[in-house]
Amino acid sequence: MKRFLYLMLVGGLFSLLLAINTPFQRRARADSIPRKLSKDILQKVESGGGSEQVRVIVQPAGSWDSQLDSAVQASGAIEVHSYQNFPLRVVTMSADAAVDLANDEKVTYVSLDREVRTLGHLSATTGADKVRTASGPNTNGFDGEGVGIAVVDSGIDSGHKSFLDKSNNLRVIYNEDFTGEGRIDDPYGHGTHVAGLAAGNGRIANAKYLGIAPKANLINLRVLNSEGIGSTSSVLDALDWIATNRTVFNIRVVNMSLGTPAIDSYRTDPICRAVRRLVDSGLVVFAAAGNNGKDANGNKVYGGIHSPGNEPSAITVGAANSFATNDRGDDGVASYSSRGPTRSFTVDEDGVRKYDNIVKPDLVAPGNRLISAEAVNNLLVTENPSLDAGVSSVASRKMMYLSGSSMATPVAAGAAALLLQANPTLTPNLVKALLMYTAQPLAGYNTFEQGAGELNIAGAVQLAQLVRTDLTSTTGLGEPLLTSSEVPAPQTTVGTFTFTWSRGLITNYTYVTGESLITKYQLVYRLGNLLSDGVVTGDGVLITNPELISDGVVTGDYILTSYGVVTGDGAPFLAVLALFDNSLLDGGFLGDGVVTGDGVVTGDGVVTGDLVATAQSAKLKGDNTATMAGEPDDGVDCDDY
C-alpha cells in the first residue's frame, strides 16, 4: 500500500511539474537560442500569447531540404509559402511552435512576418529615420542636403532613379574615371550599390530601400575597372583630386569601400598617408575593414584589416548583421567581417617585423544582405543572378543584394553627412568621437570585432547638435564642449529596443571612457591630431596625456569581450600590453599561422573591392540566411522620403 501511494504521489508530482514547467521549459529553450529567435516572438510567449497563431519567416542554416519541410509540417504549420530564389518559408503557426522550431539545428533564424512600412529597414535600424523628423534647430530634420560624399569605387550608374532629387535633378554632381577605361558608369556594379546605401532616395518600392542621407550630393570617382580591380596609383589619383577640389563640391565625406592587403605600416603605406592628409585638411574618411574574418573552414581569424582601414585617422567600419529586423536587440557582428588588430608592419635593422597592432575596426554598421541600387547590366549580377532582389524589371529601378564591410562603410559615411548637416563645424575627429561614443556595444563580441560598437545615428546626431559651433584651434583643453550644461541621457531607442551608448572611444591600443569626453573639449579633437594622441605609453603602461586629454577620462588595460552595456564593462580578452609584444603575439594569439592578411599579396599594388574574393560574401555560410525579402516596386515614384 505504501509503495502504491508512493508511486501515485511521484506520478502526480511528475505530471504537475510537467504541466507547470512546459512554458518555463520553452522559455529556457528560447533563452538558449537568443540569436535564432526574434525578440517579439519571445515577448508574445512570455505575455501568455503562446497559443496565438502568427505568421513567421523560417530561415535554414544551410539549404532548405525535405527534412526541414517535415519539421515545419510537424510543428502544425499552415499556409506554407516558399520563394523561387530565396531559401526560406513563410508559415502560420503558434508562437509556442515557433520557439520549438527555432531549436531545430537546421534552422538558423525564426522571426515574425512584420508589417512593411514606407521607411526602409536600413534607415530604421540605424536610427536614421529618427533624425528625419523635426529635430532641434532644424525643423525639417536631417537628410544630408548640401553635403558632398566622394565615392571612390567602381563608378555610379547615374541613370538609376535612386540618385535624383525631388525636382528630378541628378545628385551625382561630378564624375571622373581614373582606371583608363574612359567611362564613368558602373559596369562592375559595386559602386552604384555603395552610393545607394549612403545616399539613395526613397523613390523605389515605397521608400523601403532608403539610403542614409537621401539628399546628399555624390561625387563619382571611378578607380575600380569593369572587373572590380584597380591600382594604388589610381586610388591616389582620386584622393589627390579630392584634395584639390573638395571645396568646389563641398566634399566633407570620403567613402572607400575597397582595400589592398595591409602589408606596409600605415606610416609608410601611400594610401594611408594620403588619407591622413585628407583627414588633416578636414575631410572625414571611411574605410572598409575587409571580409577576412574567417577562414575556409569557418574558423575565426584575427588581423585581417585591409589598407587603408589600418590608418589610424580613418574611420574603419566592420559589418554587423541586423538579421533583417529593425529591433537592434538581436544584432551581431557578421562572421566574415575582418577583425583587428592591424598587422601591417615595419622591419627593423635586424630584419625583425614590428607590427602596428592597432585596435580596429572603430565601429560596425549593418552590412549583411543589404538591398540597394543595381547598375544596369553589371558584372556582379550577370555572374551571380541571385543577387538581383527581384524588385523591378525596369533597368533604372532594379535593386540588388550585396554583403560585406563594403556595404557597412557607406552606411557610416551617410551618417557622417547627417552629422555634418546638423553641425557643419565638426572636425573629422569629433565626427569619429561622436559616432563611437554613441555606438551600441554588442554583447559577446570583443573590441577587435566591433570597435566601440554598432552605429547609432540617432544618438550621434543628437550629440552633434549640442556641440559648440565656435570651437577653434585656440580653444583650451577642458573648456565646455556642449552648448548645454545638461548632458543628454546616454540611451537611444530604435523601434522597441532601448540601448545604452558605449560612452567610450577606441584609441590605437586601448580605449578611453568617461563623460568628460563629451562635456569637455579635448585637444585630440583638433585638426591635425589623432584621438590616440591623448594616450601615451610609459614603461609598457598606457596612460592619458594630461596635456591633450582632461581629467575624468579613464584608460583601459584590456581588450574586452563586451557584456553589451558600456565600453569598459566586459570580460578581459587580451591584455593591452600584449599588443606591444611582437614575440608574444607571433607565438600565441596572433601567430603567423593564425593571422590572415599579413604577408600575402595578390599582385604588386593591386587594389580590389573587398567583396571580390568571396564572390559577394552574401554567399558566406551563416550570414546570408537572414535577409529582407525584396519588396516588388509598383513603378510609381514615392516622394515621401
**How far apart (Å, rounded) are the C-alpha atoms in residues 110 and 480?**
48
Residue 498's CB: how many other CB atoms inside 10 A? 11
Residue 130 has pLDDT above 50, yes or no: yes
pLDDT of amino acid 606: 46
Residue 616 has pLDDT above 90, yes or no: no
Residue 582 has pLDDT above 80, yes or no: no
**How far apart (Å, rounded) are the C-alpha atoms in residues 251 and 246?**
5
**How far apart (Å, rounded) are the C-alpha atoms in residues 575 and 554?**
16
What residues pair up with 482 in beta bridges, in sequence order? 467
Residue 2 has pLDDT above 50, yes or no: no
Range list of β-strands (E), 78-177: 78-82, 89-94, 107-112, 148-153, 172-177
What residues pair up with 498 in beta bridges, in sequence order? 493
Residue 84 has pLDDT above 70, yes or no: no
pLDDT of amino acid 173: 98
For residue 163, which amino acid is it?
Answer: F
Per the model's pLDDT, the better-predicted residue between 84 and 369 turns out to be 369
Residue among 190, 237, 322, 337 flagged as catalytic: 190
Kindly tell me the sign of the dihedral angle through the C-alpha atoms of 181, 185, 186, 191: positive
pLDDT digits (tens, 9 = 90+) for 179-214: 999 999 999 999 999 999 999 998 998 888 999 999
Which residue is listed with cell 594630461? 546
Structural domains in the chain, sorted by start:
2-112 (3.30.70.2980), 121-465+590-619 (3.40.50.200)
Write out the DSSP string of 155-181. Answer: ---TTSGGGB-TTS-BSEEEEEE-SSS
The grid coordinates of residue 353 equal: 617585423
pLDDT digits (tens, 9 = 90+) for 315-324: 999 999 887 6
The CA-based angle 372-374-379, given to 5 degrees, is 130
**How far apart (Å, rounded) are the C-alpha atoms in residues 306 and 613?**
13
pLDDT of amino acid 202: 86
Residue 618 has pLDDT above 60, yes or no: no
Residue among 231, 313, 403, 406 flagged as catalytic: 406
pLDDT of amino acid 419: 97
% of residues, the chain, pLDDT over 70: 80
Which residue is listed with cell 546628399? 216
pLDDT digits (tens, 9 = 90+) for 274-297: 899 999 999 999 999 999 888 888
What residues pair up with 560 in beta bridges, in sequence order? 572
pLDDT of amino acid 552: 94
Q: What is the DSSP letter of 129?
A: G
Residue among 129, 143, 153, 623 flagged as catalytic: 153
Per the model's pLDDT, the better-predicted residue between 396 and 269 turns out to be 396
Q: Kindly report which listed range (116-120, 245-249, 314-318, 343-347) carries the lowest average pLDDT score.
A: 116-120
CB 344 within 8 A of CB 310: yes
When pLDDT is cut at 50, 70 and 90, the band that residue 577 belongs to is confident
Write out the DSSP string of 451-517. Answer: TT-B--HHHHHHHHHHB-S---TTPPTTSB-BS-SSPPPSEEEETTEEEE---EEEETTEEEE-THH
CB 613 within 8 A of CB 358: no
What's the average model confidence in pLDDT over 518-525? Answer: 97
**How far apart (Å, rounded) are the C-alpha atoms in residues 630 and 6?**
61
Write out the DSSP string of 25-36. Answer: HHHHHHHT-TTT
**How far apart (Å, rounded) are the C-alpha atoms in residues 212 and 190?**
17
Per the model's pLDDT, the better-predicted residue between 120 and 292 turns out to be 292
**How far apart (Å, rounded) are the C-alpha atoms in residues 18 and 558?**
46
Residue 484 has pLDDT above 50, yes or no: yes
Sequence-distant (≥ 6) Cβ neighbours of residue 121 within 8 angstroms: 208, 322, 324, 326, 628
The CA-based angle 468-472-475, given to 5 degrees, is 85
Residue 580 has pLDDT above 60, yes or no: yes
Q: 306 an active-site residue?
A: no
When pLDDT is cut at 50, 70 and 90, the band that residue 538 belongs to is low
pLDDT of amino acid 43: 77
pLDDT digits (tens, 9 = 90+) for 364-376: 999 988 999 999 9
Cα 621 to Cα 229, 294, 299, distances in angstroms:
25, 10, 11
What predicted TM-score, i.e. pTM, was given to this entire model?
Answer: 0.78
Q: 75 an active-site residue?
A: no
CB 327 within 8 A of CB 38: yes
When pLDDT is cut at 50, 70 and 90, the band that residue 62 belongs to is confident
Q: 177 an active-site residue?
A: no
Per the model's pLDDT, the better-predicted residue between 465 and 3 turns out to be 465
Phi, psi of 94 (to 5 degrees): -75, 155
Across 341-378, b (16+ Cβ under 10 Å) vs e yields bbbbbeeeeeeebebbbbbbbbbbbbbbbbbbbbbbeb
pLDDT digits (tens, 9 = 90+) for 100-114: 888 888 887 777 664
pLDDT digits (tens, 9 = 90+) for 215-239: 999 999 999 999 998 887 888 889 9
Write out the DSSP string of 565-580. Answer: SSTT-EEEEEEGGGGG
What's the average model confidence in pLDDT over 156-178? Answer: 96
DSSP, collapsed to helix, strand or coil, labels residue 91 as strand
Per the model's pLDDT, the better-predicted residue between 299 and 246 turns out to be 246
User: How confident is the prediction for the chain on average, in pLDDT?
Assistant: 82
**How far apart (Å, rounded) are the C-alpha atoms in residues 218 and 195?**
7
CB 556 within 8 A of CB 541: no
pLDDT of amino acid 98: 86
**How far apart (Å, rounded) are the C-alpha atoms in residues 393 and 400?**
12
The grid coordinates of residue 67 equal: 527534412
Kindly tell me the sign of the dihedral angle through the C-alpha atoms of 186, 191, 194, 196: negative
When pLDDT is cut at 50, 70 and 90, the band that residue 629 belongs to is low
pLDDT of amino acid 4: 43
Among 414, 412, 407, residue whose Cα is nearest residue 380:
407
pLDDT digits (tens, 9 = 90+) for 132-154: 664 444 445 899 999 999 999 99
CB 598 within 8 A of CB 303: yes
pLDDT of amino acid 12: 45
Cα 419 to Cα 120, 146, 284, 339, 565, distances in angstroms:
20, 12, 11, 27, 24
Residue 610 has pLDDT above 80, yes or no: no
Per the model's pLDDT, the better-predicted residue between 7 and 616 turns out to be 7
Which of 25-39, 44-58, 403-417 has the largest mean confidence?
Answer: 403-417
Residue 467 has pLDDT above 50, yes or no: yes
Sequence-distant (≥ 6) Cβ neighbours of residue 612 within 8 angstroms: 228, 229
What's the average model confidence in pLDDT over 114-140? Answer: 52
pLDDT of amino acid 497: 86
Sequence-distant (≥ 6) Cβ neighbours of residue 571 within 8 angstroms: 560, 561, 563
Sequence-distant (≥ 6) Cβ neighbours of residue 50 within 8 angstroms: 23, 26, 44, 94, 95, 96, 99
Provide the CA 449 distance to its chain's centre, in angstroms.
Answer: 11
What's the average model confidence in pLDDT over 502-530? Answer: 96
Residue 403 has pLDDT above 80, yes or no: yes
pLDDT of amino acid 113: 61
